[in-house]
Amino acid sequence: MAKEIIVNPEVTNLVHGLKEIGYTLDTAVADIVDNSITAGSTKIEIGLIPVNELPELYILDNGSGMSSDELVEAMRIATKNPNEKRESSDLGRYGLGLKTASFSQSNLVLVLSKKVNNEVVVAQWDLHKITKLNEWRLDILSDQEIDINSYYFKKLRSMNSGTLVVWNDIYRFEITEIPVNVDLISKHLSMVFNRFLSGKNLKNKVVMTVNNIQLDAFDPLDKLNPVTTIEQKSKLKNKGKDILIQPCILPSGKITDEKTFSRNATPYGYKESQGFYLYRSNRLITWGTWWGIFKRHDNLNLIRIEIDIDNDQDKDWSVSVTKSGFSVKPPQGIRNDLRAIVYSMAKIGKGVLGGRKKLTSKTITPYWELYKNNATSKLSFKLNKEHPLYQELVNNLEPEQLTLVSLFFKEIEKFLPIDEINRKVIHEPKNIDQGADKLDDKDLLMKLYEQLKASGRPTEHIENFFKAEGFAHILKEIND
């Protein structure tokens, strides 16, 4: 018969492991905010401030609060079974968020809470003490053992209910980095909780501030913008559960203002922000990824696809403790459906990027034409050999010169920098100026017109010449 022995984890080593579970500052703060929203908060105040020449962070909410017993249970590592059925609005999963998020940034985690008609209760995890004693010893503190004159403690006592989380002894960053991190946290929360901040599809709108500045909702799909292309919603099924899909194509810089175009890039840029945006119970948990279904490409920079799931699908989507990161991925059964949606959006997206002229114009002879190889179905741009300027040029060349010019044009076609053009059209549309709409070549074109006229060529021939792309404005001026 097998022998059983109890092997408890080494507390000190476990603490070090929990510190490195994969949080960044912004994702750690977001995990605390999850608890506030789950507790029914409508106001959440976040502060990152210098205290005694060290950074200190606090999160104060007006949620339902906790009793003494509830607070002790909330401070327990892994307090909830992740397989238990939760309320649909519950943003938690493992019962680890408060602890792991806090430990990833701070050695001293103070939690104060108050239920309606109850006194404030206080508990603290001191990681220095835990690692020294090698035991999970939780400090239950009295009013005399904390700074009761602090702004946020006095505010909590004046409220009907709420919870306050304070991170002291922060070890991840220095006091000089507070301004940068305030901006980082603000942008992250504005996007991750954009539906709560806007009140979309929710009973109550959440007001959230960071260092006393109220956050505005930032929808990364910019669906309220009238020039955003919003495709029809669709519904997929996985194990009998609904998955809602909403594809969008953001407006290019040519059709929206510079401020909106810059904002929609997100702090990560357009290329890193293309892809799927996964919402779990209205909270954005993963974004800017194709999950290996597609490779990143400049042609997809404006395409973003919103996916909505409930919190009972966590196992199917491999939702991790941090509710973000590379571990999250779609169930195998819907990957082909997602691939088909992206293919469809990529085709629509080509029209959104748009060029200066339509190559299919029947009234003006273009410089470039789009060709399709029937054998391979591949597309390519070719110089239009029917353009009158090309015809005029080759008809006046000696055989040796014609060979060189033909080779030159063929190489131009082959090395047309399509990828670079796409990048510039998307990222710097207002800085591109090929001079197509300028008339600085007017004198040269007028001289050419006079030369053709003096050569005795028929008027119809000359007019057809000047109906070509780039010349039409001269003919209009002459006729006027």
Over the stretch 139-167, which tens digit does the pLDDT of each residue have?
999 877 777 667 888 899 999 999 999 99
**Confidence tier at 29 by pLDDT (50, 70, 90):** very high
Give residue 93's pLDDT band: very low, low, confident or very high (50, 70, 90): very low
Alpha-carbon Rg of the chain, whole angstroms?
31
Residue 216 has pLDDT above 90, yes or no: yes
How far is residue 127's CA from residue 136's CA, in Å, rounded to a whole number? 9
Q: Kindly report, residue by residue over 123-133, the tens digit of the pLDDT.
A: 999 999 999 99
- Is the pLDDT confidence value at 479 over 60? no
Regarding predicted confidence, which is higher, 352 or 235? 235
**In this structure, is the dihedral angle defined by the CA atoms of residues 185, 218, 268 and 265, taken in order, positive or negative?**
negative
Specify the higher pLDDT residue, 243 or 399.
243
Which residues have CB under 8 Å from 15's CB, separation 6+?
103, 127, 130, 131
- For residue 213, pLDDT over 50 is answered with yes
Residue 304 has pLDDT above 90, yes or no: yes
Query: What's 159-198 look like in SS3?
Result: CCCEEEEEEEEECCCCHHHHHHHHHHHHHHHHHHCHHHHH
- Predicted confidence at residue 477, as pLDDT, reads 58
State the pLDDT confidence band at 24, using cuts at 50, 70 and 90: very high
Instruction: State the chain's mean pLDDT as an integer.
Output: 83
Domain with CATH 3.30.230 in the chain: 229-353
Helix (H) / strand (E) element for 307: namely strand 303-309
Query: What's the pLDDT at 465?
Result: 62
pLDDT over threshold 50, residue 355: no
For residue 232, count CB atoms less than 10 angstroms from its CB and return exposed for 0-12, middle for 13-18, buried for 19 or more: exposed
In the chain, CATH 3.30.565.10 sits at 11-214
> What whole-number distance in Å separates Cα of residue 164 and Cα of residue 44?
10
- Long-range CB pairs of 18-21, under 8 A, 24+ apart, other chains included: 18/77, 18/99, 18/100, 18/103, 18/104, 19/103, 19/104, 20/104, 21/100, 21/104, 21/321, 21/322
Band (pLDDT 50/70/90 cuts) for residue 87 is low
- Architecture of 229-353 per CATH? 2-Layer Sandwich (3.30)
CA–CA distances in Å: residue 355 to residues 22, 141, 350, 417: 43, 67, 10, 15
Least-confidence region, from 205-214, 278-287, 368-377? 368-377
* Confidence tier at 350 by pLDDT (50, 70, 90): low
d(CA 381, CA 366): 12
- Polymer length in residues for the chain: 480
pLDDT of residue 380: 80
In this prediction, residue 63 carries a pLDDT of 96
Q: Which residue has the higher pLDDT, 344 or 461?
A: 344
Least confident of 85-94, 143-152, 324-333, 344-353: 85-94
pLDDT exceeds cutoff 60 at 246: yes
Residues 6+ apart with CB under 8 A from 377: none
**pLDDT at 445 exceeding the cut of 90:** no
pLDDT at 475 over 70: no
What is the H or E stretch that residue 209 is in?
A: strand 207-210
Q: What is the pLDDT of residues 370-420, one digit of tens each?
A: 776 666 767 788 888 777 777 777 777 887 888 888 888 888 888 888 777
What's the mean pLDDT in 221-241?
A: 90
pLDDT at 328 over 60: yes
Residue 180: Cβ within 10 Å count: 11
Lowest mean pLDDT among 24-33, 138-147, 158-167, 459-468: 459-468
Per residue in 414-438, pLDDT (tens digit) is 888 877 777 776 667 767 777 655 5
pLDDT over 70 at 176, yes or no: yes
- Domain at 11-214: CATH architecture: 2-Layer Sandwich (3.30)
Top pLDDT among 458 and 315 is at 315
Query: Can you name the residues that pair with 112 across neighbouring β-strands?
Result: 122, 164
Q: What is d(CA 104, CA 124) in angstroms, rounded to the nearest whole number?
A: 15
Provide the percentage of residues in the chain whose pLDDT is more than 90: 44
Distant-in-sequence, close-in-space partners of 400: CB < 8 Å, separation ≥ 6: none
Q: Residue by residue, what is the 3-state secondary structure of 247-303?
A: EEECCCCCCCCHHHHHHHCCCCCHHHHCEEEEEECCEEEEEEECCCCCCCCHHHCCE
- pLDDT of the residue at 81: 47
Please state, in angstroms and rounded to a whole number, the distance separating the CA atoms of residues 407 and 387: 17
Q: pLDDT at position 359, please? A: 34
pLDDT at residue 83 tops 90:
no
454 confidence band (pLDDT: 50, 70, 90): confident
Report strand pairing: 283-289 vs 275-280: antiparallel
Q: Residue 166: its pLDDT value, please?
A: 96
> What pairs with residue 55 in β-bridges?
50
